[in-house]
Amino acid sequence: MLAHPHHAKGGTRTGRVLAFAKTPQASGNQRGSQAFPGMRGNRLPFHRDGDRCGARDLGNTERHARDHRSEWAARNCPNRLTRRAESLDYGDPTRPGRAILAFLSIQGLTVSYGGKADVLRDVCLDVERGEVIGLIGPSGSGKSTILRTLVGLLKPRAGTVTLDGRAVDYSSRASLRDARDRFAIVFQQYNLFQNMTALRNVAIAPTLVKKRPKHEVEAEARSLLARVGLAEKVNAYPDELSGGQQQRVAIARALALKPDILLLDEVTAALDPELVGEVLDTIRALQRDGMTMLIVSHEMAFIREVASRVAFLDQGSVVETGPPAAIFDQPRSPRLKEFTSRILRH
């Protein structure tokens, strides 16, 4: 497992966990740090109900101990996609002090390209099964880097990724293979094999890489192509298909590996405007079928419609997260306000 950036700083686990979310009111408040020796200085996290833990909580020792001396707190980092009471990661009652991990849990993900400055800094994101997360943010903010890292194309410098309770170890080849089985990514450029039919493009990875029987894989490929609305095009070659159709083949190809999570990186950005709708329809259908997805897109109306939650990235950090309506209509951070006002002007 890769080291979390806070690990290096030492101290107790609780101490690390508490090392964020500066609360000015708490400055100089010695009571908190005496009551909770793990707490360092005036940097405090959140309570289970989503409230930020502040100086005023320090007298409430019962709530504080309950919420902050558990692994639940260990998983709370300031950027994480925290959800409100009904779906917060309450500790597992059968295992006091242990938290229930989200289906996909990204903690403190820090990534740089070739040892240069970090392009992702301490990214935290929790995704439940069947959720659709919209990743938005200015160009260069790190959206693609998150997806590339998850699928194993980049090695994180720090942080952990846990999928379905199992940590993905990006330094081990076996675990990387596992990550590539469980995440599938679709890019803006669909990169189909030009010399193969749609059917063969979809069937090739499961037959060659997974060594599954051809007839079985081809039957699945046909139904996948039908699912993306291309039942009629199984024998067409890419140059006989429109951009939108090719991108739908690429989505079917990604689904052929039966991923747990589908990562879509601006899959409509290279399409002529009249072809965008058919690809969005395909993604809508996947959402209705309960596919867990992380979607990077500039189609804000679409993100608003399909995403259960949205994460706004800027300069490699998750700046703000929330349900689409909150993100688009009531942005809190100045950077998101600026971003939404800019995109809504267009």
Please report whether residue 140 would count as binding ligand ADP according to CB under 6 A: yes
Binding partner of residue 202 among Mg ion, ligand ADP, none, CB cut-off 5 to 8 Å per kind: none
Please report, as ranges, the residues that interact with Mg ion according to CB under 5 A: 144
Is residue 88 a contact partner of residue 76, using CB atoms and an 8 Å limit?
Answer: no
Taking the least distance from each CB to ligand ADP, the nearer of 228 and 300 is 300
- Cα–Cα dist 256/266, whole Å: 20
Q: Which residues pair with 184 in a beta bridge?
A: 262
- Cα–Cα dist 342/193, whole Å: 38
Binding partner of residue 139 among ligand ADP, Mg ion, none, CB cut-off 5 to 8 Å per kind: ligand ADP
Taking the least distance from each CB to ligand ADP, the nearer of 119 and 293 is 119
C-alpha 227, offset from chain centre: 24
Taking the least distance from each CB to ligand ADP, the nearer of 112 and 287 is 112
Taking the least distance from each CB to Mg ion, the nearer of 144 and 282 is 144
CA angle 110, 115, 117 (to 5 degrees): 60
Size of the site for ligand ADP (CB under 6 A): 10
Taking the least distance from each CB to Mg ion, the nearer of 14 and 144 is 144
Please identify which residue in 32, 45, 54, 137 interacts with ligand ADP, judged by CB under 6 A. Answer: 137
Cβ at position 144, least distance to Mg ion in Å: 3
Please report whether residue 141 would count as binding ligand ADP according to CB under 6 A: yes
User: How, if at all, do strands 158-163 and 317-322 pair?
Assistant: unpaired
Binding partner of residue 112 among ligand ADP, Mg ion, none, CB cut-off 5 to 8 Å per kind: none
Residues 185-224 that bind ligand ADP (CB under 6 A): none
Q: Which stretch binds ligand ADP (CB under 6 A): 100-108, 143-151, 190-198, 303-311?
A: 143-151
- Hey, what amino acid is at 330? Q
User: How, if at all, do strands 166-168 and 317-322 pair?
Assistant: unpaired
Cβ at position 339, least distance to Mg ion in Å: 15
User: b/e for 204-233, b at 16 or more Cβ within 10 A?
Assistant: bbbbeeeeeeeeebbebbbebbebbbbeeb
Please report whether residue 139 would count as binding ligand ADP according to CB under 6 A: yes
Burial of 70 from C-beta contacts in 10 A (0-12 / 13-18 / 19+): buried
Q: In what order do the strands lie in the sheet with 317-322?
A: 183-186, 261-265, 292-296, 132-136, 309-314, 317-322
Cβ at position 319, least distance to ligand ADP in Å: 13
Please identify which residue in 23, 144, 162, 287 interacts with ligand ADP, judged by CB under 6 A. Answer: 144
By CB under 6 A, name the binding residues for ligand ADP: 113, 119, 137, 139-145
